Each structure stands twice: as C-alpha cells, then as structure tokens.
C-alpha cells in the first residue's frame, strides 16, 4: 500500500492528542511485572511495540514472536532469563539480523541459560529462566542503551544486586537516565559514580502511574511548525520538564522560529518568525530517535548540517543512515558519512537528481514515514510506501495530520 501525501495549508492550528511514550510504557510494564503490581498503568501507549510487550507479559504460552519490536526483544530477553520456565522468543527477518550477543553474554555471566536457535549472536533465542546472581559487569558504553536498560531493570531483583562498569564513551545516556529515574519513582535507590552504576538488591514498590506523552512523537509536530508559515499547535499531555531525553528538542527548534509554552494541559508550539539557521550542528548521542526528523527538516529548509552521535542508527529497524541517504537523494541532496556515527550535508541540491512526487521507501521503519510526511509543507508532494508502519509508535498519525490539512490518499 502507498499513500499520496499533500497539503496546500501553510497556516497550522490545532490540538493534538499525542501517543503516550512507548519508552516509558515499556519500562513501566517490566517494572510492574517484576513487582507483581496490582495497579493499572494509566495512559499506556497503544503502539505495536508496547502492545507486543503487553501481550507477552499476559500470555499463557511460552513461545513469543515480537515482530519488529527491538525494545521488546531486549527487555524481554533480560526479564525472561530470571522467570522460571522454558521460553522461546523470535521476531521478524530484520530482528534476526539485529545483534543481541552483548546482552546475552552479560546475562550468562549472571547465571542465565540462553541458547541461539539459528545464528550465533542473533535472535531467535531459547531461554531457561533461572536464579541470577549479581556481580560487576563491564560493558562498552557505546552499545545500545536498550541492552544496559534491560539489565538495569532486573538489577534490584538479582541476588546481591548488580554493578555495571561502563567503559569508553557512553551512547544515549539520556535513555539510561530515564530508566534509572523511573526505577527511582518505583522505590529503587541507585548510585551512578563516574562510569559505574550500582544497584543493590531491593524491592520495587508498586505505585499508581500515568505515562506522559511521547517526545519522539512530538518532534514531528515541531517539524511541522518549523515548516509552516505560522503555527499554533497545542500538544496534549506533553511535559517540558520531561524525563525523556528527546525533550531537549524544544530548545533546538527556537533556531527555526518555534517557541514552546507550558500550559495546564500540555505544551503549546508557536511559530511566528521565519528565521532559519545558516548551519545546524548537533550531537545526537542522547537523542538518536529524532535524527531523521531533523535531517528531513534541514533538507526541506535547505540548511547544511553536521550530525554526530549516530552510532546506533545502523542497528535500528533499518540502517537509518543508509535509508536517509537513499531517500533524500530523491530530493537532489547527497548526504555523506564523514566518519562512523556522523551524517553531513553541504546544502547543495543537484537538480538532475530530483524526482517529481518521489515515492519514499520506509524500510519497515516507522520513523522514515513519520519524518518524511511533513516535508509536503515545503511544497513537495510525496508518496509514502507501507504507510501503516507508523503503528509501531504513532498509530493515529495520519488522522492527526488530516486534522491540520496534511492529507493522505490511498493509492494502492
């Protein structure tokens, strides 16, 4: 299926009920499962990743297919390794290409029993849930923060607790902070001293908890505001002083004339100025999930850029560096990768490469569809292939766009 995306409206006004944060939802689901909480989780995310996690945690079977849900694969591998039973967990063909050896090796050091069912180092996995004993684990700080979070979430429930010594540069520190601060809300004490995180054996406290709106989802509305002539957008339940690392973007977007105001119900985005930076230089170490949003915005505004801190993008739902290069080339832009974890563009448009009404491939990656759709506000209609990939994180996205005049029409 393909959607034609178009818009003639450059004055954007409306109220949007953003999806709940799947990052917070998935962490709280594991925490609640570990403490056998009697309380419901309010405003739980209704996206594929969270629904998969919820289905597994409430299932009566011992074999699970989590599809494209990378977070679920990492968190559940850790969780199941300490839940008595025999478990099998698999995923999509892409999931079977995403490495998990670092997490498995760490769990094995704690006493876990895990077997690779196909290729060493990759899902699917067979897990024999067993008693785990804590120790000091040495982990490369540049690995996916989801591996570290998966271990941290079970750390208080391991005999003797757990100490994680992070070596080298720490990638996506904001996501580790998010995990630890959520654990703190559920009664867990921790120490983070230099590169060492110490969590003693202790009990999670069950509490009544409400999930806040998703800042990654909010990034597309900031992008829309920046591409508009003027905007007044109210984002419900979006907290400026959020635990989520992606909340940092509200400061970045002032360079594109978008300001944020705290309201009783959430956050209001206002665009009245048409200012644009001459060059955009940003380190995405703590915010890798918004890199595609900013890259497409810079393309649409013809702002040259240099991004760093993108080391984890190649092991996401797709190789996001390559995907951006491929799809942005259809607009005449050649994105380069100066070094591993970097993306750059000099602002040059090669007219001979421009594809009229280009069809954007999404590579089974929700963020490709979400990040490219707003570009129609720059006057360039596009097509989005496999548009319902957005259900992974933002199921109501196309309906929300329709509210403010960005239309999606099914072609086939």
If you average pLDDT over residues 232-257, what whole number do you get? 95
How far is Cα 165 from Cα 55, in angstroms, rounded to an integer?
33
- pLDDT at residue 412, as a whole number: 67
If you average pLDDT over residues 155-181, what whole number do you get? 93
Nearest to 279 by CA among 259, 250, 306: 306
The answer on pLDDT for 192 being more than 80 is yes
- pLDDT at residue 316, as a whole number: 73
The answer on pLDDT for 145 being more than 90 is no
The answer on pLDDT for 377 being more than 90 is yes
The answer on pLDDT for 172 being more than 80 is no
pLDDT > 70 in the chain, percent:
100
Report residue 283 CA to chain centroid gap. Answer: 16
Grade residue 315 by pLDDT with cuts at 50, 70 and 90: confident
Average pLDDT, whole number, for the chain?
95
The answer on pLDDT for 217 being more than 90 is yes
The answer on pLDDT for 283 being more than 90 is yes
pLDDT digits (tens, 9 = 90+) for 68-86: 888 999 999 999 999 999 9
Please list, in sequence order, all residues whose beta carbon lies within 8 angstroms of the beta carbon of residue 40, skipping any fewer than 6 positions away: 208
If you average pLDDT over residues 382-386, what whole number do you get? 97
- pLDDT at residue 318, as a whole number: 82
- pLDDT at residue 169, as a whole number: 85
How far is Cα 40 from Cα 207, in angstroms, rounded to an integer?
9
If you average pLDDT over residues 181-199, what whole number do you get? 96
Contact 66, 59 (CB under 8 A): no
| E strand or H helix that includes residue 388 | none
Q: What interhelical angle do 70-80 and 22-35 show, nearest 10?
A: 10
Q: What interhelical angle do 145-154 and 173-185 show, nearest 10?
A: 20
Contact 379, 10 (CB under 8 A): no
How far is Cα 51 from Cα 205, in angstroms, rounded to an integer?
24
The answer on pLDDT for 125 being more than 70 is yes
pTM of structure: 0.86
The answer on pLDDT for 309 being more than 80 is yes
Nearest to 188 by CA among 205, 173, 211: 205
If you average pLDDT over residues 157-173, what whole number do you get? 92
How far is Cα 121 from Cα 115, in angstroms, rounded to an integer?
10
Q: Is 305 helix (H, G, I), strand (E, B) or coil?
A: strand
pLDDT > 90 in the chain, percent:
89
If you average pLDDT over residues 362-372, what whole number do you get? 95
If you average pLDDT over residues 302-306, what whole number do you get? 98
- Residues with catalytic annotation? 289
If you average pLDDT over residues 346-351, what whole number do you get? 96
How far is Cα 193 from Cα 16, in angstroms, rounded to an integer?
40
If you average pLDDT over residues 382-398, what whole number do you get? 95
Nearest to 218 by CA among 393, 387, 362: 393
* 403 CB neighbour count, 10 Å cutoff: 13
The answer on pLDDT for 317 being more than 80 is no
CA angle 20, 26, 27 (to 5 degrees): 115
If you average pLDDT over residues 249-255, what whole number do you get? 97
- pLDDT at residue 381, as a whole number: 93
How far is Cα 221 from Cα 409, in angstroms, rounded to an integer?
20
């Amino acid at each position: 299926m393909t959607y034609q995306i178009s818009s003639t409206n450059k004055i954007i006004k409306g109220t949007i009920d953003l999806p709940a944060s799947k990052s917070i939802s998935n962490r709280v689901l594991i925490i609640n499962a570990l403490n056998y909480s009697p309380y419901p989780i309010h405003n739980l995310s209704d996206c594929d990743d969270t629904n998969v996690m919820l289905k597994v945690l409430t299932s009566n079977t011992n074999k699970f297919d989590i599809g494209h849900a990378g977070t679920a694969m990492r968190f559940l591998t850790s969780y199941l390794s300490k839940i008595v039973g025999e478990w099998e967990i698999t995923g999509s063909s892409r999931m079977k290409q995403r490495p998990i050896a670092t997490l498995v090796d760490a769990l094995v050091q704690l006493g876990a029993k895990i077997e690779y069912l196909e290729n060493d180092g990759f899902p699917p996995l067979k897990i024999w849930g067993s008693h785990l004993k804590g120790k000091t684990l040495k982990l490369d700080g540049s690995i996916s923060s989801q591996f570290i979070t998966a271990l941290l979430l079970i750390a208080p429930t391991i005999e003797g607790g757990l100490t994680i010594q992070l070596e080298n540069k720490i990638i996506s520190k904001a996501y580790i902070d998010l995990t630890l601060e959520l654990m703190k809300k559920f009664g867990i004490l921790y120490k983070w001293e230099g590169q060492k995180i110490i969590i003693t054996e202790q009990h999670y406290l069950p509490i009544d908890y409400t999930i806040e709106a998703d800042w990654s989802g909010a990034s597309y509305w900031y992008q829309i505001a920046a591409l508009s002539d003027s905007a007044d957008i109210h984002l419900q339940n979006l907290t400026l002083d959020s635990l989520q690392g992606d909340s940092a973007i509200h400061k970045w977007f002032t360079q594109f004339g978008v300001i944020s105001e705290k309201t009783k119900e959430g956050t209001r985005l206002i665009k009245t100025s048409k200012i644009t930076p001459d060059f955009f230089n940003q380190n995405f170490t703590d915010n890798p999930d918004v890199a595609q949003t900013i890259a497409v915005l810079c393309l649409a505004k013809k702002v040259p850029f240099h991004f760093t801190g993108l080391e984890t993008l190649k092991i996401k739902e797709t190789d996001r560096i390559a995907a951006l290069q491929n799809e942005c080339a259809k607009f005449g832009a050649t994105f380069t990768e100066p070094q591993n974890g970097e993306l750059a563009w000099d602002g040059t448009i090669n007219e001979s490469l421009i594809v009229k009404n280009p069809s954007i491939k999404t590579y089974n990656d929700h963020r490709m569809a979400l990040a490219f759709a707003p570009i129609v506000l720059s006057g360039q209609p596009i097509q989005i292939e496999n548009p319902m990939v957005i259900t992974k994180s933002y199921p109501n996205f196309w309906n929300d766009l329709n509210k403010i005049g960005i239309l999606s029409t099914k072609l086939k």
